[in-house]
Structure 1
């Protein structure tokens, strides 16, 4: 199992409806690409103030490496990037394999 984590900051011009569209697109990915077993979306609410300016997070779970490799070049991923990139200020992507 592989976790795919995105830490996100949106542009100042990103409207709430644009962010909602990105959220909706992310949450539909698991229904559209085989091997993605879950997608979570969250908004930072930590009182620790150690988020380095990142305001949103996406956590995706891939069943295995084959699922991750299907996702990266998939047209659904490309469609997601089309609506995501215009309002994206900064992103950190971190993947890790879950070790039981």
Structure 2
């Protein structure tokens, strides 16, 4: 299994409706792409103040490397990026494999 983590900083003018549309698009991915097992979406609520401007997180679980490789060029992923790019200020992407 592979975890795919996105730490997201939205543009200051990103509208709540656009962020919600993005959230919904992410949450639909397991129904649209084989091997995408789950999606979690969260908003930072840490009291530590160490988020460096990143306010949201997405945690995706892929069944295996084949699933990740199907996801990356998939048309549904491209559609997701089309929703994402206009509101995105900065992103950190980190993947790791469970062993």
Same-fold call, TM > 0.5?
yes
Matched, 1:66 2:55: no
Partner in structure 1 of residue 22 of structure 2: 22
Structure 1 segment 1-100 matched on structure 2, within 5 A: 1-99=1-99
- Distance apart, 1:53 and its partner CA: 1.0
Matched length: 99
Following superposition, which runs of at least 4 residues in structure 1 exceed 2 angstroms of deviation?
Answer: none
Q: Mind listing any 5+ residue stretches in structure 2 that lack a counterpart?
A: none
- Distance apart, 1:14 and its partner CA: 0.5
- Distance apart, 1:50 and its partner CA: 1.0
- Distance apart, 1:94 and its partner CA: 0.1
